[in-house]
Amino acid sequence: MTPRIKICGLRDVASAKATAVLGADAIGLVFYEPSPRHVSINVAHEIVAALPPLVSTVGLFVDADPALVEGVLRTLPLDLLQFHGDEPPEYCRAFGRPYIKAVRVKPGLDLLELADRYADARGLLCDAYSSAAPGGTGERFDWQLLPDNLPMPLILSGGLRPENVGEACRTVRPWAVDVSSGVESSRGVKDLALVGRFIAAVRQAG
């Protein structure tokens, strides 16, 4: 089955609409201030309102004050929450919304144990561990570290680009792929030609 595609870190209406038209299944909105892809609630609102139907919207948070998450949810009809920090399971489920849990993969991390801990998550998003930032670093990890019996959908991320996402799909067979840096011309600026090439490479890999 062709993996679903999430493009993360859209910051303006035109790029978000174009990304949807190019075939993205989901758009990620980053509510993490230190990120170059941070988006205000007002702009996020404009983006969500402008998207065509059947394109999911995902709100990304990193160890956020629950008041921030609740504030965003009061205003925005997000489809899914993405927790990309060290949030414990109780925190993730406290909002009563579907969520995916991001984990930063490095040798020794027990992904099966994490899948068990976050059993009510809709999926486990596996990103690269980096000491530089919690995510969006463009760094890859060793896909051999992924178990082939994860009991929930695997969302693969971390350093994916148009040039390597086909191989990633054929090797890992993820439920979905997620990308930020690999489809940008500079940090935080999406390049629609790269977005198009990324989506085509995923579809081609089947």
Which positions touch ligand LGQLAAA5 (CB under 6 A)? 8-9, 28, 30, 32, 35, 37, 60, 62, 84, 125, 127, 134-138, 157-160, 178-182
Of the two residues 158 and 162, which places its CB atom closer to ligand LGQLAAA5 in the complex?
A: 158
Euclidean distance between CA atoms 43 and 28, whole angstroms: 13
- DSSP codes of every residue in 26-52: EEEEE--TTSTTB--HHHHHHHHHHSP
Helical spans, DSSP H, in 76-184? 89-93, 111-117, 165-172
Cβ at position 38, least distance to ligand LGQLAAA5 in Å? 8
Cβ at position 168, least distance to ligand LGQLAAA5 in Å? 11
Cβ at position 186, least distance to ligand LGQLAAA5 in Å? 13
Cβ at position 160, least distance to ligand LGQLAAA5 in Å? 6
- Give the residue from 31, 10, 37 showing the smallest Cα distance to 21: 10
Of the two residues 7 and 115, which places its CB atom closer to ligand LGQLAAA5 in the complex?
A: 7
Element at 190 (helix H, strand E): strand 189-190
